[in-house]
Amino acid sequence: MKRIGVFTSGGDAPGMNAAIRAVVRQAHALGLEVIGIRRGYAGMILGEMVPLGVRDVANILQRGGTILLTARSQEFLTEEGRAKAAARLKAAGIGGLVAIGGDGTFRGAMRLTEEQGVPVVGVPGTIDNDLYGTDYTIGFDTAVNTALEAIDRIRDTAASHERVFFIEVMGRDSGFIALDVGLAGGAEVIAVPEEPLDPKAIAEGLLESQRRGKTSSIVVVAEGAYPGGAAGLLAAIKEHVRVEARVTVLGHIQRGGSPTAKDRILASRLGAAAVEALARSTGGVMVGEVEGEVAFTPLKEAVERKKDINRVLLGLSRVLAL
């Protein structure tokens, strides 16, 4: 293998650029050429490719987003689309791919490997932290710190006006962001998709907090924890108790911004390890970090096995909210 490709796909995550930089420079150290594929699988089908040298990735370590851009592709969901993408790769002399993204990206990579024989190594770049086979995904730490800063500011307002704030964070199917942000931000309630919610019990808990002398509270809600998100949960709670409350949806602010040191280091380590794996003709795997060590997990296992939230931390958050 003399030439590899690198692309980003799906939702952007802080640290993707650091991973691209690591891929290019590690490849250069191993004598491999790198082709950057723009706009993910959509660009792969269209042949949107550009050579990347060591200077092309200078000064991107600290930048959020992705210099290679990202897009979703309906055509790639078809076998014909994947065959077209593989033909583009072959014509460009690309012998293997580094795919930076989340579960949707890896499902596509898995099919590209199985159907077209293209070796792909996945690098987990998603703020959701929901991929099995790595303790943390690239972008998660930055997203948590971004949301935490916002919650700290909102708590000042909540205390000043003696109100309850329902704060919605990202997490359609996973509560990793909500759990870490809620615990670090001292939330009275943390609502996650992994746990069933009882609006009446939450209402009673907020009343009990008031009886203990609390004049304001923070409720952190993962967007998929309850139908309608934070607003839906508040409406359900108001059926049981009158509460002076406001809803704040943090939204896409969590996906942007300069990556933290932790995300830059993780991205650098995993990007380099992905290139080393391709150089050994390894494909169909995701590279992650487990207990401080680089680990490889089959792509199929990474996307299909359920990664659970830390139940100990969830229990601790309830004790500390008293």
Residues annotated in a binding site for Mg(2+):
103
Residue 121: which H helix or E strand, with range?
strand 120-124
- Within 13 A of 191's CA, how many CA atoms are on the CB side? 31
Burial degree of 175 (CB within 10 A; 0-12, 13-18, 19+): buried
- For 165, the 3-state DSSP assignment is strand
Out of 128, 141, 180, 263, the active site residue is: 128
The span from the CA of 96 to the CA of 134, in Å, is 22
Of 101, 89, 100, 97, the closest CA to residue 120 belongs to: 97
Residues annotated in a binding site for ATP:
11, 72-73, 102-105
- Rounded-to-10 torsion of CA 264, 269, 271, 277: -170
| C-alpha separations of 140 from 162, 171, 189 in Å | 31, 11, 21
Residues annotated in a binding site:
11, 21-25, 72-73, 102-105, 126-128, 155, 163, 170-172, 186-188, 212, 214-216, 223, 246, 252-255
Cβ contacts of 92 within 8 Å, gap of 6 or more: 3, 5, 35, 47, 49
Residues annotated in a binding site for substrate:
126-128, 163, 170-172, 223, 246, 252-255
The span from the CA of 73 to the CA of 296, in Å, is 27
Task: Tell me which DSSP letter residue 260 carries.
Answer: P
Of 319, 322, 310, 306, the closest CA to residue 192 belongs to: 310
31's tokens: 């004598």
Whether the Cβ atoms of residue 14 and residue 137 lie closer than 8 Å to each other: no
The reply to whether 130 belongs to the active site is: no
Strand partners, 156: none
| C-alpha separations of 266 from 10, 179, 263 in Å | 19, 21, 5
Residues annotated in a binding site for ADP:
21-25, 155, 186-188, 212, 214-216
Supply the residues annotated as catalytic.
Answer: 128
